[in-house]
Amino acid sequence: MRTDSAEPVRLKDYKAPDYLIDSVDLNVKLHPTAARVVSRLSIRPNPNGRPDAALILDGDGLIVKSIAIDRAAPADGVVVVSPQQLALANPPQRPFTLDVETEVNPTANSRLMGLFRSGSAYCTQCEPEGFRRITFFLDRPDVLSVYTVRLEASRAEAPLLLANGNLVEAGELATGEDGVARHYAVWHDPFPKPSYLFALVGGDLGSIHDAFLTRSGRRVALGIYVEHGKEPLAAYAMDSLKRAMAWDETAFGREYDLDVFNIVAVSDFNMGAMENKGLNIFNDKYVLASPATATDADYAHIEAVIAHEYFHNWTGNRITCRDWFQLCLKEGLTVFRDHEFSSDMRSRAVHRIADVRALRAAQFPEDAGPLAHNVRPETYYEINNFYTATIYEKGAEVIRMLKVLIGAESFSRGMDLYFERYDGTAATVEDFISCFAEASGRDLSDFFRWYRQSGTPLLEAASSYDASAGTFTLHLEQSSKPTPGQDHKEPFVIPVALGLVGPDGDLPLKTETDNAASAREIESGVFVLSTPQRTIIFRDVESRPALSILRGFSAPVRLDYAASEADLIRLIARDSDSFTRWQAAQTYASRLLTRAVADIGAGKSPAEDYDFVDALASVLTESADPAYAAQMITLPSEADIARDIGENIDPDAIHAARFGLRRAIGKGLSSHLHTVYARLAPDGPYSPDAAAAGRRALRNAALDLLCAGEPEEGAALASRQFASADTMTDEIAALGALAQTPGETREAALKTFYRRHAHDALVVDKWFALQAMLPDADTLSRIKDLTGHPAFSFANPNRVRSLVGAFATGNLTRFNAADGSGFDFVVEIVLCLDPKNPQVAARLLSAFKSWRTLEPGRKALAEAALRRIAVRDVLSADVRDIVDRSLG
Ligand code: 0A1
Ligand code: ZN
């Protein structure tokens, strides 16, 4: 719990540790309520630390049973212990050992940090500060130690005993007085690692096994452990793992380094997964899949998360972070790597669009609101709250920009240098960037502002065409609004990839400049804006071109460019860049939707636009890639529209406007949509691959529009699909389509879906989420009822996220209901969850991050709801931090 006087942790206060811990020997006796942990630490003064400093080990709620220094009981007063700290005021100034025995209660651990239970299994989560809930330690990422872990448990309760590294020994123990047959296993991890990468698992689990031969000939035994009976559901995860291992060798030259790589899936987990050395622990949502239970999106997520955690072995584990301010060093880079992997496994164009949609949905609002923070933060109160879209997704975008800026070759040399120079160390973002400066010979100090300044820059573009001179002039300006603690921003270094599109496609880029370097830069199609503004003149342009700007989304900025509607139509038809072609359709739709919201607000009915509908018709008839066409016909989300409008948001008007445009497109494109729907009917055996998934995506996008345009015919199609679907993708899409219309059919379908899948918690989560996102007026009372459903539990983070999380982040109209009922509900849940699982409570509360953009009535209600939390005397540090910053 944090008091109001708590001081933040500051980057500028970083000091090397005064002591190092070379090795850790842990002996863990698993027990449901009284697990014993005996730890032997080999400690020595750090030559780079302060001599004679006190040694203060972190703890969190630990019960101490015994302590020894160099195997002897310390004299009175030598060691001062509390549940939160173990302190030696005058530790030996030479190498010594410290033995500490602690007791913890895994069953009572509802925070799911440290040693806890998921079902009957024991598992751990130590990032960022969970190891101190197991034993006293210098629980900071720059203390690297070699771990040997002996695990002991009842054989019946936990026949499986896993820890990091390689298994060195295992065996039976004499049956104790209690008649329980016990056994043990010893694991050794030769790679020095920080405590946050420690893991153990004990339990009775099923498994699948495979092997991977690295390119230098190491045979790695692969295991995935799941609940008994679920083994076949782990096959896709195993396949993804092998592809990720092979890809990392070819794309980044990185090989796996232990003899074993294990993954354990558990159903109670705060996050997606965790990259513990050699023993990844996963939320089972990112492991288990079958065509009948997982959607295509689920398959894509499994592939990405399996790869992400595996890639951490080099970016995170072999090279770790000096301190938690450097979190993006491992997370942004690893997200960049998993995006590249998924792009290579699937359609790069479609993947880029999906990534940008996700960035705009999660990161842009963060950057525009009270929770905005740097990609490399400089202060924090609670590090748990910094596992954010900014650190992860924007962190990845920054690296992507770096690659665009210095080119693929220099980028690759920089990566090699980084691996070579920093392997085995705890590094900083400066260390990382210095490798690219060296590899490219470029000064990247201004580029570093992306790490030091928060907020999404606005890129304004204006153009003019001079027919007589044959010139096209482009003026670019950047500006950045103040963000918390940063009133003034220096210009960002923004790579702007662009092209000019004529009636038949791309035009050659010729510029009017005497400066050869600048001409080369512009003719390459990537223009670097590193000053507040710049003008480029293109010559030999025969007719007014359409500007295709920010190709591939070359920088994480907001773009303001008043393209004519005719230009947008040309880009939709002709742009050679698949991202800007899609963006042109989104921009057009967003313009129609923004106008419609204003019309609805003024009591008028929105005007229809046939040109846009015609352009989408051509997409449907001409596009060769169904997955891409699906993206093209999917309108901006309600949250996208809210962001484009930016202030004085009325979510109900946005909902009505979007529904109106969907209906207009559904009606206007009816025959095209019917044709697509019929043409893409499932044929042949199921495949999770991108091509098959793309066909399903387009067919279901067509169904969605048909249901909006022709409710009765659409519902008939959806009912048929719901009855006969043999994939979860098609089944949940049909249910979603039926759920658009309140009434008996919807309720009957919801009941059927539950009956079909009641035994599968992950599928029931989809059922919770779908209902939580219904725009109907009675959704909140439905959700309240569902919190009492036998399949729901506040103790399980997946359940909470699928019901309450989906409501707070995915139901714009009802969460922001005009009477404040949505805010009140979420606040009530946050307060009730906080004492049990503060991390999940705080995450839920961050759904309020855009409250200041709402219209005055809703804004006042949101503020009042937040204040009800803020006035509480007892809050976790996690929730206190989010509520204070949200109101700050
Ligand atoms: N490093 C993990 C994310 C993670 C962070 C904290 C956790 O604690 C509950 C769990 C996982 C990743 O990037 O996948
Ligand atoms: Zn990660």
- The answer to whether 626 and 698 have CB atoms below 8 angstroms apart is yes
Q: How far is the CA of 325 from the centre of ligand 1 (A)?
A: 15
From the CB of residue 33, how many other CB atoms can be counted at a distance below 10 Å?
11
> Order of strands, edge to edge, in the sheet holding 273-274?
206-213, 219-226, 260-266, 279-283, 273-274
- Which run of H or E residues covers position 846? none
Q: Where are the beta strands (DSSP E) in 307-367?
A: 320-321
The tokens 């020994």 sit on which residue?
169
* CA nearest ligand 1 atom 6, residue: 127
pLDDT the model gives residue 859:
98
DSSP tag of 370: T
Ligand nearest the Cα atom of residue 276: 1
Residue among 166, 160, 83 at smallest CA distance from 123: 160
The tokens 């849940």 sit on which residue?
829
* CA nearest ligand 1 atom 2, residue: 274
pLDDT the model gives residue 282:
99
pLDDT the model gives residue 1:
47
Output the ligand 1 site: residues, CB below 6 A: 125, 127, 270-275, 308-309, 331, 387
* CA nearest ligand 1 atom 1, residue: 274
For residues 279 and 270, what is the distance between their CA atoms, to the nearest angstrom?
Answer: 17
- The answer to whether 101 and 65 have CB atoms below 8 angstroms apart is yes
**Best mutation site among 118, 320, 331, 387 for ligand 1 pocket (most ligand atoms within 8 Å of CB):** 387
pLDDT, mean of residues 507-522: 82
- Decide the pairing of beta strands 85-88 and 79-82: antiparallel
Task: Tell me the torsion sign for CA atoms 254, 255, 258, 260.
Answer: positive
- The answer to whether 114 and 133 have CB atoms below 8 angstroms apart is yes
pLDDT the model gives residue 178:
85
* CA nearest ligand 1 atom 13, residue: 331
**Best mutation site among 111, 124, 127 for ligand 1 pocket (most ligand atoms within 8 Å of CB):** 127
User: pLDDT over 90 for what percent of the chain?
Assistant: 96
Ligand nearest the Cα atom of residue 270: 1
Burial class (CB in 10 A: 0-12, 13-18, 19+), 423: exposed
Select which of 152, 309, 340, 382 is catalytic.
Answer: 309
- The answer to whether 572 and 584 have CB atoms below 8 angstroms apart is yes
For residues 129 and 139, what is the distance between their CA atoms, to the nearest angstrom?
Answer: 6
pLDDT the model gives residue 387:
98
Q: How far is the CA of 785 from the centre of ligand 2 (A)?
A: 35
Burial class (CB in 10 A: 0-12, 13-18, 19+), 409: exposed
Q: How far is the CA of 753 from the centre of ligand 1 (A)?
A: 32
* CA nearest ligand 1 atom 5, residue: 127
For residue 693, pLDDT over 70 is answered with: yes
For residue 514, pLDDT over 50 is answered with: yes
pLDDT the model gives residue 638:
98
Ligand nearest the Cα atom of residue 335: 2
Q: For the segment 802-811, what is each residue's pLDDT rounded down to a tens digit?
A: 999 999 999 9
Confirm whether 710 is a catalytic residue.
Answer: no
pLDDT the model gives residue 519:
78
Q: How far is the CA of 331 from the centre of ligand 1 (A)?
A: 9
Task: Tell me the torsion sign for CA atoms 364, 365, 368, 372.
Answer: negative
Q: Identify whether 508 is preceded by a cis peptide bond (ω within 30 of 0).
A: no
For residue 518, pLDDT over 90 is answered with: no
Coil, strand or helix at 743: coil
**Best mutation site among 131, 134, 271, 305 for ligand 1 pocket (most ligand atoms within 8 Å of CB):** 271
pLDDT the model gives residue 5:
58
Question: Based on C-alpha coordinates, what's the Rg of the chain?
Answer: 28
ipTM of the complex: 0.98
* CA nearest ligand 1 atom 11, residue: 274
Is residue 61 left, alpha or beta, with left meaning phi > 0 and alpha meaning psi from -120 to 50? left
The amino acid present at 167, given as its one-letter code, is L
Burial class (CB in 10 A: 0-12, 13-18, 19+), 52: exposed
597-614 b/e with 16+ CB inside 10 Å = b? Answer: bebbeeeeebeebeebbe
- Decide the pairing of beta strands 260-266 and 279-283: parallel
Q: For the segment 307-344, what is each residue's pLDDT rounded down to a tens digit?
A: 999 999 999 999 999 999 999 999 999 999 999 999 99
Q: Report the interhelical angle of 711-724 vs 728-738 (nearest 10°).
A: 150
- Residue 378 vs residues 327, 370, 373, 670: alpha-carbon distances, Å: 11, 16, 9, 54
For residue 578, pLDDT over 70 is answered with: yes
Residue among 535, 521, 268 at smallest CA distance from 404: 521
Q: How far is the CA of 695 from the centre of ligand 1 (A)?
A: 33
Structure tokens, 191: 């790679």
Question: Average per-residue pLDDT in the chain?
Answer: 97
Ligand nearest the Cα atom of residue 272: 1
Q: How far is the CA of 84 from the centre of ligand 1 (A)?
A: 23
Q: For the segment 820-859, what is each residue's pLDDT rounded down to a tens digit?
A: 999 999 999 999 999 999 999 999 999 999 999 999 999 9
- The answer to whether 19 and 55 have CB atoms below 8 angstroms apart is yes
- The answer to whether 711 and 702 have CB atoms below 8 angstroms apart is no
871-877: long-range contacts at Cβ-Cβ below 8 A with a sequence spacing of 24 or more?
A: 872/831, 874/1, 875/1, 875/2, 875/834, 876/1, 876/2, 876/834, 876/835, 876/838, 876/841, 876/842, 877/1, 877/2, 877/6, 877/381, 877/382, 877/838
Q: Report the interhelical angle of 348-358 vs 626-633 (nearest 10°).
A: 30
The tokens 């975008």 sit on which residue?
397
pLDDT the model gives residue 511:
84
Which ranges of 407-460 would DSSP assign to H, the alpha helix? Answer: 408-422, 429-440, 449-452
Q: For the segment 356-405, what is each residue's pLDDT rounded down to a tens digit?
A: 999 999 999 999 999 999 999 999 999 999 999 999 999 999 999 999 99
For residues 235 and 231, what is the distance between their CA atoms, to the nearest angstrom?
Answer: 8
Burial class (CB in 10 A: 0-12, 13-18, 19+), 768: buried
pTM attached to this predicted model: 0.98
Relative to the CA of 112, which ligand 1 atom is closest? 9
From the CB of residue 68, how many other CB atoms can be counted at a distance below 10 Å?
15
- Residue 696 vs residues 291, 656, 725: alpha-carbon distances, Å: 12, 27, 11
* Structural domains of the chain in order of their starting residue, each with its CATH number: 1-204 (2.60.40.1730), 319-452 (1.10.390.10), 461-555 (2.60.40.1840), 563-709 (1.25.50.10), 761-887 (1.25.50.10)
pLDDT, mean of residues 579-605: 97
pLDDT, mean of residues 274-292: 98
pLDDT the model gives residue 2:
46
Burial class (CB in 10 A: 0-12, 13-18, 19+), 663: middle
- Decide the pairing of beta strands 219-226 and 206-213: antiparallel
- Residue 394 vs residues 373, 391, 454, 530: alpha-carbon distances, Å: 11, 6, 10, 19
Residue among 801, 770, 773, 767 at smallest CA distance from 267: 801
For residues 163 and 185, what is the distance between their CA atoms, to the nearest angstrom?
Answer: 9
Residue among 235, 392, 378 at smallest CA distance from 328: 392
